[in-house]
Amino acid sequence: MPKIVDHQEQRLQLAATVAEVVAQIGLEHTTLRTVAAHHGCTKGMVQHYFSDKEALLLSAIHFVEQQSALRVEAAAEGLSGLDHLHSRLLAQLPLTAALLNEWRVRLSFITLASQVPAVQSLLEQRQQLEQSQAMRALRQAQRSGELRSGITLLKVYRVLAAAIYGLAAIAVANGGQWSPMLQKQLLKSMIDDLRS
């Protein structure tokens, strides 16, 4: 009896491998061949799912952003206001080796976005979705009286988003020298500064 292959699952596993390879050796060295070697399959199998290098690389950022979105939504489920926002942002910090690798992939693609419209579009959509969810949480916090007066919601979101990206960039650049505890403390301090 022929083996039944779940093509969607196989493609997802390959995309996870592509993301691992990008995190380890960078975009420029990630090829169909290196992914095949890392995944333990033939180059032909990788080509079956990804026709060229661009499709291969795009699978990595799609995978990373999809995993991030699922994790962030699960972390904030059932919460509202500043607790919701804090949980969303906390779930994005590079607190583990796996999340540090996720940020290595994301930061690699940020530099590519100015050259590849598909990457720019994907990152822009993800950022807009995250902004929409964060703004909803901030509006809830404002309505419930959690926020101190005089706060401009969009400005607050932009500062927090920049802080998350900054913390991630520092963690990647410094090999994770900013401990998870320090990252958590900095985020908590920024959220606490918003409270009334």
- pLDDT tens-digit profile of 85-129? 999 999 999 999 999 999 999 999 998 888 889 899 999 999 999
- Quickly list H helices, the chain: 7-25, 32-39, 43-49, 53-76, 81-90, 97-112, 117-143, 153-173, 180-192
Q: Tell me, what CATH number does 141's domain have? A: 1.10.357.10
Predicted confidence band at 5 (pLDDT cuts at 50, 70, 90)?
low
Domain count, the chain: 1
Domain that holds residue 34: 7-192
Span 155-177, pLDDT tens digits: 999 999 999 999 999 999 987 67
Structure tokens at 2: 């022929």
Q: Is 93 a domain residue?
A: yes
What mean pLDDT value characterizes the chain? 93
How does DSSP classify residue 174?
A: T
Q: Is 1 a domain residue?
A: no
Q: Is 122 a domain residue?
A: yes
Q: Specify the pTM.
A: 0.90
